[in-house]
Structure 1
């Protein structure tokens, strides 16, 4: 068995289904089944049982899962230690990025990182912040760029207090918000509560004239087309040609959302992790400067 087999078994355990596991691993069902049989021959026991509801791991299979997870952690730790001992930045880095950050900034960021550190093996995950937070807690990721306030006992590097802004096209710059369509986007419970608070304080909560979408970028695209207005974080507003007004609550408290980089304690000082953290910080500073120039204009 090798690391690919470790990943195969753990993907199968996570999916609980041959078809779904094969899709995730970019294998045919036949190729996946053959590899499982080869693993069972090598180990001299059955590791899974097929049922009408999917697959179940045998007691021997559960032991294999436990030991291969331990072996993978040891191999990862070994690579980290070896990379620290070398002058050139290399090794493996498993990083997660929230969906909205990924759509707007990830391709450029990763291209720059790979250009500077081509020997680093990157494993990138994009997802909702809450899902990435769960993966961090399980130890599946070394670090993640997240939005919102979630408990974390590892290293936390503050990235910014991302201002929430009223955003609308220039053609609606002087139109009262109550006369425009409010374009709402899905958010976690904590952020949704703060949006509702701001709407109430500005007598906009009961406005029936609204459109609801699932993601920030669709929301922004509708604003660009003059459909209405939205409450959006400044991190996605680079290059937006419209009116941007940072928000505050009635008591004067700025309406912001925290962005931060959460990192496993043992990975914080890895050269490849420090290099990525520095690039993320620099990239955010550039975006904030660009948005500030639009707001001040």
Structure 2
């Protein structure tokens, strides 16, 4: 079996549909089906059952699909180590990135880094910071960019801090928030807990949440259209001037601060591509970069 075979198993396991898996892999459906049949001959077992609802993996197929994740990662690491032996800054760097960092910082950073090192490619996995922390803990990525304070025992660098703000199209009296329409968005549990704690300190009534959206950027656009107020990290508001903003503080006077960190393993610095990227990040003004 080669890397492509493991990729077929991994993709088919996630897609549960031969047509969708073939499209994702940019191969024809007959080619994927033929290769799957060849794999079943190699192992002497049936890997999937085909039905109207897609494909269902047999117990043996479930085991092989689980092995596929490990095998692909092992092959990637082998390639990285071989390229590293030549002393070239080349290969694929694997990044785990929080959703906010992906939307507002990552594209320009990757562009600038690739201008310096054109032989570099990127594999980026995005999600909530809790998921990214798990990825870096399991060494599924070289570097993780997370927001919030997580229990991480490896190497880390504080990249920037930001305040949490109430944002509204019109001036708003903070004492009247429970009666004002609020727009919420899906965020990580740490930030939600901080905002809920602040609310409990200041109000006895629950917030009047009229709109819930999936992303902070969508939430900001709702606020800009006068549909309600929102509680957002300050950095997402830097590119707009016509919003009324109030930095929220706990009753002890301390503002709610959200930190963004870069996590990585010490051993990862042995790879020239990882060291080059970490050096690049540490020498970039991330707080003011777009």
Do both share a fold (TM > 0.5)?
yes
| Structure 2: runs of 5 or more not aligned | none
CA shift for structure 1 position 200:
2.8
2:163 alignment counterpart: 163
1:46 is the counterpart of 2:45 = yes
Q: Which is further off, 13-22 or 128-137?
A: 13-22
CA separation of 1:23 and 1:138: change in aligned 2, threshold 3 A = farther
Q: Which is further off, 57-66 or 176-185?
A: 57-66
CA separation of 1:205 and 1:221: change in aligned 2, threshold 3 A = farther
1:273 is the counterpart of 2:274 = yes
Which of 169, 173, 176 is the aligned partner of 2:173?
176
TM-score by length of 2: 0.81
CA shift for structure 1 position 216:
0.5
RMSD: 3.1
CA shift for structure 1 position 20:
5.0
CA shift for structure 1 position 229:
2.4
| Structure 1: runs of 5 or more not aligned | 291-297
Provide Cα deviations, 1:195-244, integer angstroms capped at 9, x if missing partner. 11212333385343643322211111122223332211123223121343
Secondary structure (helix, strand or coil) at the match of 1:245 reads strand
CA shift for structure 1 position 113:
1.9
Q: How far, CA to CA, are the matches of 2:205 and 2:273 in structure 1?
A: 46
1:256 is the counterpart of 2:261 = no
CA separation of 1:286 and 1:263: change in aligned 2, threshold 3 A = same
Contact 2:73 2:140 in 1 (8 A): no
Q: How far, CA to CA, are the matches of 2:137 and 2:187 in structure 1?
A: 21
Alignment of 1:188-227 (within 5 A): 188-203=188-203, 205-208=205-208, 210-227=210-227
Q: How far, CA to CA, are the matches of 1:10 and 1:40 in structure 2?
A: 15
Alignment length, in residue pairs?
283
Q: How far, CA to CA, are the matches of 2:117 and 2:46 in structure 1?
A: 39
1:110 alignment counterpart: 110
Secondary structure (helix, strand or coil) at the match of 1:164 reads strand
